[in-house]
Amino acid sequence: MLPNRNSLLLFTLLFCLSVSLAAQERDQSLWYNKPAEKWTDALPIGNGRLGAMVFGGVANDQIQFNEETLWTGKPREYNRKGASKYLPEIRKLLFEGKQKEAETLAQAQFMGLQSEAGDRDAWIKEISAGKGIAGNPASANYDDRLWKTIKVPSYEGWERVGLDNLDGAVWFRTTFSVPKDWAGKDLVLDLNKIFDQDFTYVNGSLLGQTAGTDARKYTIPAKLIKVGNNTIAIQVLNFYNRGGIGGYKDVTKKIGIYPIGSNIETGVSLVKQWKYKIQNAAPPEIPHYQASYQPFGDLNLRFNHGKAAITNYRRSLDLTTATAKTSYSVNNVQYQRTYFASQPDQAVVIHLSANRKASVSFDAALSSVHQHSVVKVLDKHTISLSVQVKDGALRGESRLTAVVKNGLVKTINNQISIQKADEVTLYLTTGTNFISANDVSGNPATAITKAINSIKGKAYSQIEQDHIREYQQYYNTFKVDFGRSENEKLTTDERLQQFATANDPGFAALYMQYGRYLLISSSRPGTQPANLQGIWNDLLAPPWDSKYTTNINMEMNYWPAEVLNLSALNEPLFKKIEGLAKAGTVTAKEYYNAKGWVLHHNTDIWNGTSPINASDHGIWVTGGGWLSQHLWEHYLFTQDQEFLKKEAYPLMKQAALFFEDFLVKDPKTGWLISTPSNSPENGGMVAGPTMDHQIIRSLFKNCLAAAQVLKADESFQRSLVDKINQIAPNQIGKYGQLQEWLEDKDDTASKHRHVSHLWGVYPGNDITWNKDAKMMNAAKQSLLYRGDEATGWSLAWKINFWARFKDGDHAMKLIKMLMKPAGTGAGSYVNLFDAHPPFQIDGNFGGAAGIAEMIVQSHQGYIDILPALPTAIPNGNIMGLKARGGFEVDLIWNNGKLTSLQIKSKVGGKCRVKYQLKEIEIETKAGENYKLNGDLK
């Protein structure tokens, strides 16, 4: 009997699917034909707890590494006791339209507590008295012949020109020559910026001193100057982060000296090498609202290949196995290094080999940017690195162990030296004394000992196989193919360069898988959640402290988790929410005299929940509400009632109880509104930002639905229904836009990066096409006014908006903007890290989620197939995309049309599916698959 037409079609589609997916598996690598030159060129590996950046150098290979719990700070009180007594007055001022007065009062009385400050005045007094340096360096005749030299100016700080990670007091000295025609004239000494404070002398006399960011432009009286050689001495005091003589950010503008009434073009340039001497490297601790994520150390591998030519160089990151590789040839010997971060064995593993025996020779050294760090030799195969965070409670230890096949091993100058080995495996293990946000009594060696015991007796091949097996349980749940292109033959940096103008949809598929790779690598069950840079950071003072910004960035990190089939990786986020809820309960009471828990716009490893930084943006109250959305979404995707009952609903309910107490009646409209708060980082402190109301309304509705599922809390349900109907609604303003605030005061010329009032479009579902098309169009108008140009994470958010607006081509335009080479603006770095700029990982996660949102949506009660498919991705297939309701979706499309669809039901129940104008409903059974064609038949 011959197979019927439908059977042949199904066979053909399945064959094409298997061939296509096999092809896309060959295109799941980032690769380059040269080593990394800077940190954002290097390739990231991680196991959720340990992260490393692999540079892949030939003569010197740097592996910069992190441990997720190494932060500044310590357990302490973050909350200002009794702040709630100022709440009525702040609200009153806002209702009266006195925003600035409200912000001033809040800044003084309503912000969180900073960490304890050191005694700056006493330190400056000691430094000014000459402690730490011999003689008087301000003197014109001071002997500075043994001083070192440094480039001046250094707008990015002295850290970038040789004084790495230094805070403290440093003297700078140089000379300048005065021509005869300047005799008797007052001169200008133009230094522009100095970080943070200076005492500036000419020929031993104090010209002036300045603290802060003001430009330094001092007058030198004629009486201090002599024709010929003159001396400048500057004592620079730097308390935190960037230090030194900064000069002008515009490097074409020179610092220097010139007569009053003239300019630097006719004067003497001071852009040159100056002499310097460190007087003191231990300034007093400065206060911080929250802590900073810290780098741990560096492993440097040094190879001596002489002057022989290097050929066949390649470095790569294979997303399918989470392994990075560096390979090259020297003198007909092929060398290879393989790097991965093993979760089963809790180590960064580096395997070095060659195709000729006795060819692997190198020195391995550990170091750290922390001032308080020590390297020791433990035995001829092992060295250790100990670090202590400055002005903090945390310390860490790392050990490097070399397992060598043949060859010679010894330790020299605290380094492991290996000569003529056949192959070598390095195991980098790390631990800190962090136990929890309230407990730092741990022993850093505990994690190390556990890892070493795990590794002991295992062959490298087994460790690598165990690593791959554990990793692939997450990675292999999802496959994507958008078709082939000629650009796959290009290196990743070349491919990135051409993506905006090339026909290369496969690069977008690679970007999706890279986002999944980064989430798996920075957020495993049992670890901390991914922070602003995931788990990777090389700076003691990283951008925005590399912490958790909860007015979008922390949440965006987890947008791909459900839809891209990585639900288990939410566990660190959910555990973090538990800790924040506990801390936020105290904050809710102290600041708002309210039940439940609250979270403002930032947190750190110590679970700070109080307002920080400045009152015009730091007092934003809906972080807990937004995080609660992730709890509910996990239930919607998984239908896990046990999770809902034991974890999600209790946290959601407590967040809702806070808002029940917090909401107040607006005297003008009678609506319940959120105040004080702000529309994140835009427009200052206000009463009634639209975003807050969307989040609170959604939280109340989600709690109501959860309580109904669990058949719980009838009185609480009634209270929620009553409140939901009173919350200020979304409003359309005079420009046809969705209003960002309670009042119709939107600026249509504003291009602000936050588009907070569109939260109800995405990630929320407060505004949908089905519920209110008119409001959806108003939201779309708001986004049109805001424009396309944005920072990296903002571009990612806008991709999701345009997907929800069902405009795939506009979304694709933004994908190409997100995936363009980063320069001075947003885009992607060479290693495809998102550029805010600088690096923020949320753009990677938000972008990956946005591409998925173009393919399948499920937030309106049905599975919407190809709702925003761009013309640039005419063909594709996906396996393992998740949809709300407990469904998994596989689909194939050709020439922009759906050809095959398979729905896998995890828990059973009704499944509504919509494709274009077609819609069906299936009564599904748990564990069953339902196969449909392009007509949903």
Locate 929 and state its tokens: 């698959």
Please write the tens of the pLDDT for every residue from 604-652: 999 999 999 999 999 999 999 999 999 999 999 999 999 999 999 999 9
In this model, does residue 597 exceed pLDDT 70?
yes
Q: How confident is the model at residue 823 (pLDDT cuts 50, 70, 90)?
A: confident
Domains 33-73+291-476 and 120-280 share a fold: no
Cis before 560? omega within 30: no
pLDDT of residue 5: 43
Phi, psi of 225 (to 5 degrees): -105, 145
CA pair distance 389, 411, nearest whole angstrom: 27
Say which DSSP state 727 is in. B
In this model, does residue 17 exceed pLDDT 60?
no
pLDDT of residue 131: 95
Query: By the 8 A CB rule, do 132 and 223 touch?
Result: no
In this model, does residue 38 exceed pLDDT 60?
yes
Please write the tens of the pLDDT for every residue from 500-529: 999 999 999 999 999 999 999 999 999 999
Distance of CA 295 to the CA centre of its chain: 14
Q: How confident is the model at residue 840 (pLDDT cuts 50, 70, 90)?
A: very high
What architecture is domain 33-73+291-476?
Distorted Sandwich (2.70)
CA-to-CA dists, residue 61 to 11, 308, 347, 655, angstroms = 49, 17, 18, 48
Query: What's the mean pLDDT in 293-308?
Result: 95
Please write the tens of the pLDDT for every residue from 200-248: 999 999 999 999 989 999 999 999 999 999 999 999 999 998 999 999 9
Please write the tens of the pLDDT for every residue from 138-165: 999 999 999 999 999 999 999 989 998 8
CA pair distance 78, 112, nearest whole angstrom: 6
Nearby residues of 321 by Cβ (< 8 Å), 6 or more positions away: 340, 468, 471, 472
pLDDT of residue 18: 43
Residue spans of beta strands (DSSP E) within 749-896: 827-828, 834-835, 856-857, 863-865, 876-883, 887-894
Q: What is the pTM of this model?
A: 0.94
pLDDT of residue 9: 43
Q: How confident is the model at residue 27 (pLDDT cuts 50, 70, 90)?
A: confident
pLDDT of residue 1: 34
Q: How confident is the model at residue 2 (pLDDT cuts 50, 70, 90)?
A: very low
Nearby residues of 1 by Cβ (< 8 Å), 6 or more positions away: none
Tell me the fold of 120-280.
Jelly Rolls (2.60.120)
DSSP codes of every residue in 334-403: EEEEEEEEETTTTEEEEEEEESSTT-EEEEEEEE-SSSEEEEEEEETTEEEEEEE-TTSS-EEEEEEEEE
CA-to-CA dists, residue 634 to 25, 249, 367, 558, 567, angstroms = 28, 47, 42, 11, 7
Q: Where are the alpha helices (DSSP H) in 763-806?
A: 773-786, 792-804
pLDDT of residue 164: 87
Please write the tens of the pLDDT for every residue from 42-66: 999 999 999 999 999 999 999 999 9
In this model, does residue 16 exceed pLDDT 50?
no
Please write the tens of the pLDDT for every residue from 775-801: 999 999 999 999 999 999 999 999 999
pLDDT of residue 25: 47
Distance of CA 127 to the CA centre of its chain: 38
Q: How confident is the model at residue 565 (pLDDT cuts 50, 70, 90)?
A: very high
Distance of CA 653 to the CA centre of its chain: 29
Share of the chain above pLDDT 70, in %: 97
Residue 869 sits at the vertex; the CA angle it makes with 866 and 870, to the nearest 5 degrees, is 175
List the domain boundaries for the chain.
Answer: 33-73+291-476, 120-280
pLDDT of residue 7: 44
CA pair distance 294, 280, nearest whole angstrom: 23
Residue spans of beta strands (DSSP E) within 545-594: 548-549
pLDDT of residue 26: 53
In this model, does residue 4 exceed pLDDT 90?
no
Q: Which of 28, 487, 61 is nearest to 313 (CA)?
A: 61
